[in-house]
Amino acid sequence: MSDRDHIASDKRTIIITGATSGIGLATAKILAGTGAFVIGTGRSAERCRDAENSIRRECPSGRINYILADLSSQQQIRTLAREIRSLLADNFETPVIDTLINNAGTFSGRFTETEDGLETTFAVNHLAPFLLTHELLPLLSQSKDGRIVTVGSGSHFHAKMKWNNLQLRRFYFGWTAYKQSKLGNVLFSTEFNRRFLEKNGIRAFVADPGLVQTAIALKNSGLVVKMFWKHHIKKGATPEEGAATSVYLATSPEIHDNDAIYWKYQKPMNPNPRALNAADARTLWEISCRLCHIDNWG
Ligand SMILES: NC(=O)c1ccc[n+]([C@@H]2O[C@H](COP(=O)([O-])OP(=O)(O)OC[C@H]3O[C@@H](n4cnc5c(N)ncnc54)[C@H](OP(=O)(O)O)[C@@H]3O)[C@@H](O)[C@H]2O)c1
């Protein structure tokens, strides 16, 4: 057991990326309803405004603010972190982040590059959580109960890291890129805990939402993937059901000192053993530092 104190939901400050649709929007609504101070992020000004207005309508006492940032851009991630710091400084005497939920995610049916020259799925799904966590770590360290929840996926069970072709510049296939990025989410959380849990008590978790009825695979894909996804998600849960594990990991007192890293339906489960491989976790961390221009993090 650690000597850290659990912080109740209505006292928590929580950041949620990709909070303009699907699981992230549902997570923001539920958490604003608990009384938490919530900052959502999105890449479209219009969708940020709509999300903020709808949450304020449904939850008039909710403390919710949205900040615009395209997480495919490392410059915008760094600016986002600065804007979060300044918004918290305007609202609190001592700014703190209790939970960062790395929820934003993308699927791309074809190879595309970000403005930083990186494959987009790898950049948004893996490097963005890595860099944003790095930028916000000083504020997470101020919390007595700091948590990082990265939204993973059961697809990581079918993935392995392609170390010689990490960004799939040769033989790109959308699902391969997506599954590998989700394996990256667990490797990141594994290595984060190894480097920081003892040092500053912040714990990283992965929330697997299960199959959820969202438009994730309809946004940047061709006809075949669209048809597959529309059919496939008929069996999926609602975004609110999909948000339950993120909400639980973000706020629950029970998991305060729980060692499990991977959670689904609010229960711990074993991830793909590859995701706990110490050498792979370290290798991905070092590559991510280099790609994000970070010197020796942790
Ligand atoms: N749906 C599932 O069955 C399922 C299963 C397992 C895991 N997941 C994971 O759940 C998370 C949420 O996905 P979802 O299913 O809720 O999909 P979604 O409805 O498409 O939500 C994804 C969110 O990420 C945002 N986003 C995408 N690219 C971005 C970028 N470059 N910069 C900033 N924000 C960006 C989206 O913004 P816009 O609103 O502007 O598009 C949206 O807010 C993802 O990490 C996904 O991998 C989903």
Tokens of 29: 């609504």
Q: What is the CATH number of the domain that holds 56?
A: 3.40.50.720
Give the alpha-carbon dihedral of 244, 246, 250, 255, to 10 degrees: 80
Query: With 0-12 CB in 10 A as exposed, 13-18 as middle and 19+ as buried, what is 10?
Result: exposed
pLDDT of residue 81: 98
Instruction: Tell me the average pLDDT across 38-56.
Output: 98
Please answer whether residues 156 and 272 qualify as being in contact, where contact means their C-beta atoms are separated by less than 8 angstroms.
Answer: yes
Share of the chain above pLDDT 90, in %: 94
Domain for residue 215, yes or no? yes
Measured CA to CA, the distance from residue 139 to residue 92 in angstroms comes to 12
Which residue lies with its CA nearest to atom 41 of ligand 1?
21
Does residue 48's CB lie within 6 angstroms of at least one atom of ligand 1?
Answer: no
Measured CA to CA, the distance from residue 261 to residue 274 in angstroms comes to 14
Beta strands in 76-170 (DSSP E): 99-102, 147-151
Average pLDDT score over the chain? 96
- The domain in which residue 43 lies consists of 9-291
Identify the three-state secondary structure at position 184: helix
pLDDT of residue 254: 87
Does residue 70's CB lie within 6 angstroms of at least one atom of ligand 1?
Answer: yes
Model confidence at 116, pLDDT cuts 50, 70, 90, reads very high
Give the Å distance between the CA of 216 and the centre of ligand 1: 6
Domain for residue 239, yes or no? yes
69-108 as b/e: b if 16+ CB within 10 A: bbbbbbebbbebbebbbeebeeeeeebbbbbbbbbbbbbb
pLDDT of residue 259: 87
Domain for residue 297, yes or no? no
Statement: residue 171 has pLDDT above 70: yes
Instruction: Tell me the average pLDDT across 32-52.
Output: 98
Measured CA to CA, the distance from residue 135 to residue 23 in angstroms comes to 24
Is the whole-model pTM more than 0.75?
A: yes
Instruction: Tell me the average pLDDT across 284-295.
Output: 97
Instruction: Tell me the average pLDDT across 105-134.
Output: 98
Model confidence at 53, pLDDT cuts 50, 70, 90, reads very high
Tokens of 119: 């494959």
Domain count, the chain: 1
Does residue 20's CB lie within 6 angstroms of at least one atom of ligand 1?
Answer: yes
pLDDT of residue 148: 98
Model confidence at 124, pLDDT cuts 50, 70, 90, reads very high
Give the Å distance between the CA of 60 and the centre of ligand 1: 26
Domain for residue 123, yes or no? yes
Q: Which residues, other chains included, contact 154 with Cβ-Cβ below 8 Å and sequence gap of 6+?
A: 208, 210, 211, 264
Domain for residue 153, yes or no? yes
Find the catalytic residue in 66, 172, 178, 265. Answer: 178
pLDDT of residue 1: 37
Instruction: Tell me the average pLDDT across 133-146.
Output: 97
Domain for residue 3, yes or no? no
Tokens of 298: 């942790």
Domain for residue 82, yes or no? yes
Matching residue, tokens 């697809």: 155
Does residue 74's CB lie within 6 angstroms of at least one atom of ligand 1?
Answer: no
Residue range 191-210, pLDDT digits in tens: 999 999 999 999 999 999 99
Model confidence at 3, pLDDT cuts 50, 70, 90, reads low
Measured CA to CA, the distance from residue 297 to residue 289 in angstroms comes to 7
Residue range 246-286, pLDDT digits in tens: 999 999 998 867 889 999 999 999 999 999 999 999 999 99
Tokens of 168: 């799939």
Domain for residue 298, yes or no? no
